[in-house]
Amino acid sequence: MNTPIIVDPEDPKWLLLEHVMNITESRAVKQAMARHGVVPIEKSGTILRILFISMFFSLDITKSFKKWKREAHYEILLMLLKSHLHK
């Protein structure tokens, strides 16, 4: 049974994930990715964030990504995370 990912700003897991997401979007991380030849930066950053979300919630990345891509949930989830992070 797949449990839904519920956004709760008070949950310590979400607070830690918020901190990690802020770090992955920083200029220093983008410069480090470019320095190590990771291109394109924006797409790689999105993939990195999806990986972190999967790790935080113990999701199978291949099944999750296929499901999110098929249902366009990954874009909605990233939009929710970005809106939550910028509050």
Chain segment 31-67, per-residue pLDDT in tens:
999 999 988 888 888 888 888 887 887 777 776 666 6
Instruction: Report d(CA 73, CA 67) in Å as an integer.
Output: 8
Instruction: Name the average pLDDT for the chain.
Output: 76
Spell out a b/e string for 57-84, using b for 16 or more CB atoms within 10 Å of the CB, else e: eebeeeebbeebeeeeebeebbeebeee
pLDDT at 31: 93
Q: Using 50, 70 and 90 to split pLDDT, how confident is the model at 86? A: low
**Residue 35: how many CB atoms within 10 A of its CB?**
8
pTM for this entry: 0.61
Structure tokens at 25: 């979007």
